[in-house]
Structure 1
């Protein structure tokens, strides 16, 4: 008995996140027969938790009077990547971005509006219901209407090629029964979400100590698509980057993503207040948190980082609002009405990430930090706050808030990470290249599996670019894969 309904498809898409689902739907809209594979029980992957996508010159920005230059964005992002990003890909992505916003709307996606994140530009198009609603209420239903066959608990275990190296088939496996089956296909789109959740690949391909990273994702990004491509001669390219997002608490009693909506987590890890290292010393201008990738890099320079909050700033954030939020989970400026209760609960539960003391000396002892060093650091910092000038790192006086009112709280910070990006080098058409720089016939990569959008860090100065690229590159892959399959079919018809 066959796992799939048919033995041949114009296109097989591996992965059901924003990239894979968009590829399947776009290809079906172009007239292709499509098999869409999901290795888990549930579709969507980490895209379910996304908040909004990047675009320039969209109809929503025009309605809000927001102006941005696509060329300026392109130049900024390529420079940001230290010219490791492919400017051709960025050009096409930027130019197509308003069309992707409209395409999603045409499928039934609803938007809340456009906003910025941190100090970035207002390019972030927030959709209602998070990515889950985009995928499950709009894109997947539309794909099924057009005949896309969706198989869950089904993995692609191998790609098969012709004598000339072009795609000709895929081996798929039912994860429930272990049964395997080979389907014939003209094209494949790899959209499996990168490799953040594969410790071995993270160790081999990135400089990060994974014990310090807190992956906040679906857990499915295990490099499946990359290995499929590499096994048939695709070039290994653009690895080494993880999308960091600053300080994050590690609660061993619950999944990491549960803390995304926690006001305590945001107060502890996402504010431009006071950070110290394992020696009790400041080490950076803490307002780096307004660029969360830079903040992740800064935190990583130290072996351990703690944030220090006093009762005064906790009361201030509860009464007046935070300095910096965490996406749409905890919005910037939001009054932290739950903060004190969440802190109290964590202290009562003796969570390993939080320390409370009535004096700074006692706090240092509880955190196992040098008492003299920590008290000297805070005394010096408080003097900067009184004078309105950070003489060490030059932090904006707006964020110089004294640590003076007990009780005092210390929070042990790890480094949050959303995803990796890269692994397969692609053309502007999202065709996967081999080791000689030539496209592998019929093989495409989209989203986090495709290199070309970033350098060694992600650019949150233009928020929404990661998932925006997933939607765009998925559509781009699906459209070109469908056309490729049509051209092969036409040639075969002529030959017959």
Structure 2
């Protein structure tokens, strides 16, 4: 689905994305929600902004003016890599970050994708062929992706890891995930905090001018080229005159209405994303400069109602060995689908009006004492969930969120189904049939693996509502295969690059876990290559 720039520009603030998260300062002073609409529709150079009444307002009047070579907007993984790379290549760099700290969503992942990396060579791991990786993505995305974007990324991925290692980033190990080749590079301790901390330290070592709590509010354009950016700091409006600007502002996943509008997800029960500050700032500013829109997708997770990240409840969300029922009280997919791809689990659950994980008292005791058979995020398989009992009690007492609760418990399946608002008679039939299959040790209906066929017989019975979390958006700003921002005719807008979550043309459906770590890997790759290109452009 191609994004309509009119809808995006008029809706970014009006739909609550900016104001709801305390980010109204991300719009220029005096500008309204449709600030860029006239620009997008008329193609005027972005030297002025139209207010709601049609009055033309000049660009912000700066309180501070700074001259640099490269402006980087956004201090997540991609922005940090862009700023460091530009500085390494001789550019004077300023980085604007709207939040109080650097790192963004880069603190979340466990690792990144790469092939032909020094770490793989060290471990004697043979990388898969490029065409096999791309073929997997072609099939996953129904052949709606373009070869060149993946080809450039894969070719540069090993060099990106080498670059990170030179900076002092620790890559702990390289493994397969969900049956993928051995391409997933784990950070130190199985997560990427050390990587982000190392990148942050490098910004200081390289003398990059970092401004926190300073959202960029618009770009500056002269003769069709982008030549700087305005940002709103605690000290006033900053104008950074530059020869190149790099957009890495984190996408739009923090605006649930935009996720619904642009990606098509039912956001009724969508959870607050990991970084609600990501509300499409980069897209808005790029569109004001005449950038074209590109189809967008989301990296989604299926999880229970409520913020359970980092808890034992998260481990059992959409996990195994549970029975899954929908609003009809029916099974709807083989529940061990997550052993193939958690992305596919999300799709299966999204196709239902309601989706629940069901298990019994005996399985509850096993979870507490032995853990779950599948790894979930940073919790390893067969790790006792020692906090689960207390967390479930708290969840049972928690109020409903938009008509849904996190957890339900009852002494009978009928009562549990009634609490969850699903067809009780059909739920009883489904549980009885499922228990029969568990006794046989063969799932004749869906083909679920025997090791996950655990009967639901012993009261009390538990139910968990599964819903959607959009962890980050993918794409929105149109780019060429080298991350130059382009207009509707495909012509490069001079001086403007976009990458990371702001501009990724790697997917048209959703995140493919069979190429694990591809988003973080792309953030590093796009940031590193954009920084170098912007520095060279500034010198020229």
Q: TM-score, normalised by structure 2?
A: 0.83
For 1:250, the equivalent position in structure 2 comes to 305
- Which shows bigger deviation, 338-347 or 467-476? 338-347
Residues 79 and 369 (structure 1 numbering): CA distance in 2 closer, same or farther, change over 3 Å?
closer
Structure 2: runs of 5 or more not aligned: 1-60
Q: Among 277, 280, 283, which residue is 2:329 paired with?
A: 280
Structure 1 residue 272 displacement after superposition: 5.1
For 2:194, the equivalent position in structure 1 comes to 133
Over the residues paired in the alignment, what is the CA RMSD in angstroms? 2.1
For 2:343, the equivalent position in structure 1 comes to 293
The yes-or-no answer on 1:384 pairing with 2:384 is no
Matched residue count? 473
For 1:144, the equivalent position in structure 2 comes to 204
- Equivalence map 1:326-345=2 (5 Å): 326-328=376-378, 330-345=379-394
- Whether contact under 8 Å (2:77, 2:520) holds in the other structure is yes
Structure 1 residue 127 displacement after superposition: 1.1
Structure 1 residue 134 displacement after superposition: 1.9
Q: Among 466, 470, 476, which residue is 2:529 paired with?
A: 476
Secondary structure of the corresponding residue to residue 364 of structure 1:
helix
> Deviations for 1:117-163, whole angstroms, at most 9, x for unmatched residues?
33434322121264333223x11221222221001111222212222
> Deviations for 1:347-373, whole angstroms, at most 9, x for unmatched residues?
466773111122223322332333211
Q: Among 296, 305, 323, which residue is 2:373 paired with?
A: 323
For 2:314, the equivalent position in structure 1 comes to 265
Secondary structure of the corresponding residue to residue 513 of structure 2:
coil
- Equivalence map 1:18-167=2 (5 Å): 18-71=77-130, 72-128=132-188, 130-136=191-197, 138-163=198-223, 165-167=224-226
C-alpha distance in structure 1 between counterparts of 2:129 and 2:385, whole Å:
36
- Whether contact under 8 Å (2:326, 2:355) holds in the other structure is yes
Secondary structure of the corresponding residue to residue 7 of structure 1:
strand
C-alpha distance in structure 2 between counterparts of 1:45 and 1:483, whole Å:
27
For 1:493, the equivalent position in structure 2 comes to none
Q: Among 277, 282, 289, which residue is 1:232 paired with?
A: 289
- Which shows bigger deviation, 424-433 or 27-36? 424-433
- Whether contact under 8 Å (1:260, 1:326) holds in the other structure is no
Residues 2 and 131 (structure 1 numbering): CA distance in 2 closer, same or farther, change over 3 Å?
farther
> Deviations for 1:361-393, whole angstroms, at most 9, x for unmatched residues?
332233233321111000011111122332322
Q: Among 71, 78, 95, which residue is 1:12 paired with?
A: 71
C-alpha distance in structure 1 between counterparts of 2:293 and 2:127, whole Å:
34
For 2:4, the equivalent position in structure 1 comes to none
For 1:208, the equivalent position in structure 2 comes to 265
C-alpha distance in structure 2 between counterparts of 1:211 and 1:75, whole Å:
34
Secondary structure of the corresponding residue to residue 202 of structure 2:
helix
C-alpha distance in structure 2 between counterparts of 1:315 and 1:65, whole Å:
42
Residues 212 and 117 (structure 1 numbering): CA distance in 2 closer, same or farther, change over 3 Å?
farther
Q: Among 372, 379, 395, which residue is 1:346 paired with?
A: 395
- Equivalence map 1:421-436=2 (5 Å): 421-436=474-489
C-alpha distance in structure 2 between counterparts of 1:62 and 1:333, whole Å:
31
Structure 1 residue 287 displacement after superposition: 1.8
Residues 70 and 15 (structure 1 numbering): CA distance in 2 closer, same or farther, change over 3 Å?
farther
> Deviations for 1:300-355, whole angstroms, at most 9, x for unmatched residues?
11111111011222333444442322222x22343434333433443466773111
Structure 1: runs of 5 or more not aligned: 488-496
> Deviations for 1:7-44, whole angstroms, at most 9, x for unmatched residues?
22111000000000000000000001111000111211
C-alpha distance in structure 2 between counterparts of 1:94 and 1:36, whole Å:
27
C-alpha distance in structure 2 between counterparts of 1:458 and 1:3, whole Å:
42
Q: Among 190, 193, 197, which residue is 2:247 paired with?
A: 190
The yes-or-no answer on 1:219 pairing with 2:276 is yes
Residues 217 and 3 (structure 1 numbering): CA distance in 2 closer, same or farther, change over 3 Å?
farther
Residues 320 and 206 (structure 1 numbering): CA distance in 2 closer, same or farther, change over 3 Å?
same
C-alpha distance in structure 1 between counterparts of 2:216 and 2:194, whole Å:
26
For 1:456, the equivalent position in structure 2 comes to 509
Q: TM-score, normalised by structure 1?
A: 0.90
- Which shows bigger deviation, 105-114 or 9-18? 105-114
- Whether contact under 8 Å (1:56, 1:68) holds in the other structure is yes
